[in-house]
Amino acid sequence: MIKNFNLFFVTFFFIGKMKHAPGTISSFFTCIIFLLLMEVSNITYIFLITLIIFSYSFIAINNSFENFNSDDPQEIVIDEVVGQMLVLLAIPIYETLFLLHSIYYCIAAFLLFRLFDIWKPFPINYVDNNIKGTLGIMLDDILASFYSIIVLCILFFFLGG
């Protein structure tokens, strides 16, 4: 039972089992879930939810790793969920600018996160190639989210923030 839940969790409701672009699709649904959560909750609860997902993902990936055939299986997309959520959690900082509706910030966060997650500039590529296991799976997406946050901060600074 717990193995099935872990598989369900790390594939983010089995989105990771899709053949084409499971990481992008899971990031997209993370943005939708984030926007819905922002309507009914506050940023503190969303941060706590993200922290719980991040913490449990280490356990779930370790316990379901034998179900996959590679060291960094594309079916595991919970790392994309956590990475995308970290970028989205930075949005309330930008909302003080009141330039655009939050959906535009979500689109920018989505595009930048996917760019850095796919492109993998240094040190993301180093982590992806040299750190194996659960830490390697999670860390490259966390670094991609940090790159995305930095670019968003610079972008919104020059837009008048």
Q: Determine the pLDDT at residue 100.
A: 64
- Comparing 41-45, 59-63, 138-142, 154-158, the range with the smallest average pLDDT is 154-158
pTM: 0.92
The pLDDT of residue 72 is above 60: yes
Q: Where are the domains of the chain?
A: 2-11+23-158
pLDDT of residue 153: 85
If pLDDT is split at 50, 70 and 90, which confidence band does 157 have?
Answer: confident
Encode pLDDT of 78-133 as tens digits. Answer: 999 999 999 999 876 655 655 667 788 899 999 999 999 999 999 999 999 999 88
**Can you give the pLDDT at residue 81?**
97
Residue 70 has a pLDDT of 76
Residue pLDDT, tens place only, 11-52: 999 999 999 999 999 999 999 999 999 889 888 999 999 999
Does residue 123 have a cis bond before it (omega within 30 degrees)? yes
Contact between 76 and 11 under an 8 Å Cβ cutoff? The reply is: yes
2 contacts: CB under 8 Å, gap ≥ 6: 63
Provide the CB-side half-sphere exposure for 59 (13 A, CA). 10
Give me the pLDDT at residue 96, please: 60
Q: Give the tokens for residue 98.
A: 């009141």
Mean pLDDT on 146-157: 90
SS3 for 2-68, per residue?
HHHHHHHHHCCCCHHHCCCCHHHHHHHHHHHHHHHHHHHCCHHHHHHHHHHHHHHHHHHHHHHHHHC
The confidence score (pLDDT) of residue 3 equals 87
What pLDDT is recorded for position 27? 97
Residue 160 has what pLDDT? 64
The CA distance from 24 to 12, in Å, is 12
